Structures are given as C-alpha cells and as structure tokens.
C-alpha cells in the first residue's frame, strides 16, 4: 500500500477496484490502474569538483574553485580551512556568491599541507560540500 513519507522513491502503481454496496451503484468499468507519483524531493547537496585533493596551489596564483549542487536555491558561501577541516575561520573567503558552480580565488598565505575548501548554501547553512585536503605553498 502506498504511504506518503519523506523517502525519495520511484512512482507506485495500484489497482483501484470499486465494489457495489446497497447504498450506491457502481458503474462500468469498476476498476482502474493508477500511478501515484512520488512527491518527495531529493535532499539538497553540494559536491566540490576542484580542488579534488592532493594538488598544490601556490600563494598569489589565481585558482578556480568548482562545485556541483542539487536542490540548492540561492547563493553560496565559500570557506577555507588550513587545518584539515577542524576550523573554517570566522568569515568565508568568498561570501554570498552566485551558486553557478565556479569561483575564482587568489590563493593567500599562510602555507599549509592540509587546506580544504567548503561551499555552503547561504539559505541552508547545513548544506555543504567539502574538498579533500590539498597543499598551499
């Protein structure tokens, strides 16, 4: 039996059959096949595509941060961690930028071997994508 829940799942098909009762009449045909479309949206997500992790970005060079998103509306904030993701600083390195999947950034000091980039939805700050560690030299 179909149940309205929050799970994203495929459409469900059921056969509805009407049975006559003394208080009403059932016409013909008395059954039909009905497809119930799932009304649950997949969860919002962000995935970092650059940096991938393992590469070296040199200080004072321009690099392009890229990401994909699904179900994310509005702008994003971009954060940098220099300690493998333990902390992300008090402010984004790029704030309230368009969620178009690409942003240029001039690499800044200090150097680190455990840099990570995080992109988060401005409207839903728990929806984030985080890169693997890379080096800033």
Each residue's pLDDT tens digit, 3-24:
667 677 778 888 888 888 888 8
The pTM of this model reads 0.74
**Tokens matching residue 20:** 């006559």
pLDDT recorded at residue 104: 98
- Structural domain boundaries enclosing 76: 45-136
pLDDT at residue number 1:
59
Tell me, yes or no, whether 18 lies in a domain.
no
Here the CATH number for the domain that contains residue 125 is 2.60.40.10
Q: Does any domain span residue 80?
A: yes
Structural domains counted in the chain: 1
Predicted confidence (pLDDT) per residue in 80-98, tens digit: 999 999 999 889 999 999 9
Contact 119, 38 (CB under 8 A): no
- Tell whether 28 is covered by a domain: no
In DSSP terms, which residues pair with 48 in a beta bridge?
A: 67
Q: Is residue 31 part of a domain?
A: no
Cα 111 to Cα 10, 63, 66, 114: the distances in Å are 48, 15, 21, 9
């Amino acid at each position: 039996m179909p149940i309205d829940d929050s799970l994203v799942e495929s459409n469900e098909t059921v056969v509805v059959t009407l049975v006559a009762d003394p208080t009403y009449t059932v016409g013909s045909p008395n059954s039909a096949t009905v497809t119930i479309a799932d009304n649950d949206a997949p969860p919002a997500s962000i995935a970092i595509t650059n940096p991938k992790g393992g590469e070296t970005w040199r200080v004072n060079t321009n690099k392009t941060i890229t990401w994909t998103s699904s179900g994310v509306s509005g702008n994003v904030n971009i954060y940098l961690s220099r300690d493998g993701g333990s902390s992300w600083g008090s402010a984004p390195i790029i704030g309230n930028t368009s969620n178009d999947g690409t942003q240029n950034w001039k690499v800044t000091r200090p150097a680190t071997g455990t840099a990570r980039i995080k992109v988060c939805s401005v409207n839903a700050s728990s929806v984030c994508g985080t890169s693997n560690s890379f080096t800033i030299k």
